[in-house]
Amino acid sequence: MEMVKHDEKWFHKRPLSLVYDIKHLISLHYFEFAKDFIFDGEKHDFWELLYVDKGEVEVMANTSGYKLKQGDMIFHKPNEFHSVWANRKIASNVIVISFTCYSVEMSRFENKIFFLEDYERNLMANCVKYGRAAYLPPYDDPGKHDLVLRDDAPFGSEQMLKTHLELMLISLATRRNELSQVNRLSSTAKERSEDEIVRRTIKYMQDHVYANLTLDEISSHLNISQTHLVTLFKEKVGMSVIRYYKTLKIEQAKMMIREQTLNFTEISDLLSYSSIHTFSRHFKSVIDMTPSEYAKSVQARLQT
């Protein structure tokens, strides 16, 4: 411990232990969701908390779905895929704050849901209060995260926000009555999220049918792990992601063959196949005919 001398006396300089030290604020939002609001989802390398200030929402955290009620707060750890929807019945107000904090004690919030008590709700209200005082709007745009400091921001407003947020973390971390996730598990929310992931996967492949997508590119675009995507897609659709993508390509090739404006090499190139041989092999594996055999069958049907 460091010591300092003053008036011939020595004093110990006691360093203060900081269990939570928030280094950066990434975003601060206050959303007033319509009852049919949908946020497709994301993952990132910093922490995010979501607090339901009013109403109810459905949340997906990795592979689990939850129904959160007024007063509930969920934490999303770094690199955890998460999404949120209004429940189509009740309009809801939600506070979302994302931040960086590298304390090992942040592990206390992994996979946790809390129901906030009065003291903690007041801390959250002050986070929003000082955030609005410090930063320019909008606060309700899910696509805009930049925090721009106001020219007239009150003295100390950012530190007050940081302090209240850290106080809330300490309060929650020292509790003995955190909410069991089981009480908020929702098979409906989970199924809804999974259906949305499959829909977005198919839409992305349809939009890039002329490209040469890889599984890594698809999962990265959707912000979910390859393992989760592969398992989910197979379960919901009945075939692998890449097999489905290959089928989309061949369906597009069949349409171009029927139009009779491009030859097989041109179709192969347009669909980003490495060679006409690879294209022919894929074509046959999907519909059990070569491109030539399919073209002849089309012509035969036209002549009948």
What CATH number does residue 209 fall under?
Answer: 1.10.10.60
Same domain, 32 and 146: yes
Which tens digits make up the pLDDT trace of 137-153? 999 888 888 999 999 99
Q: Residue 157: is its pLDDT beyond 80?
A: yes
Same domain, 134 and 86: yes
Map the chain to HEC letters: CCEEEECCEEEECCCCCCCCCCCEEEEEEEEEECCCCEEEEECCCCEEEEEEEECEEEEEECCEEEEEECCEEEEECCCCCEEEEECCCCCEEEEEEEEECCCHHHHHHCCCEEECCHHHHHHHHHHHHHHHHHECCCCCCCCCCCCCECCCCCCCHHHHHHHHHHHHHHHHHCCCCCECHHHHECHHHHHHHHHHHHHHHHHHHHHCCCCCCCHHHHHHHHCCCHHHHHHHHHHHHCCCHHHHHHHHHHHHHHHHHHHCCCCHHHHHHHCCCCCHHHHHHHHHHHHCCCHHHHHHHHHHHHHC
Same domain, 239 and 121: no
- Among 137, 159, 185, which residue terminates a domain? 185
Same domain, 178 and 31: yes
Same domain, 180 and 92: yes
Same domain, 263 and 123: no
pTM (predicted TM-score): 0.74
Same domain, 161 and 226: no
pLDDT at 302: 61
Same domain, 162 and 203: no
Which tens digits make up the pLDDT trace of 236-255? 999 999 999 999 999 999 99
Q: What is the residue range of 239's domain?
A: 188-303
Average pLDDT over residues 199-214: 94
What CATH number does residue 150 fall under?
Answer: 2.60.120.280
Higher pLDDT, 208 or 62: 208
Asked if the structure places residue 231 within a domain, the reply is: yes
Same domain, 156 and 236: no
Asked if the structure places residue 281 within a domain, the reply is: yes
Best-predicted range by mean pLDDT (110-114, 233-237, 296-300):
233-237
Which tens digits make up the pLDDT trace of 177-202? 666 666 777 777 778 778 888 988 99
Same domain, 258 and 277: yes
pLDDT at 178: 65
Same domain, 145 and 199: no
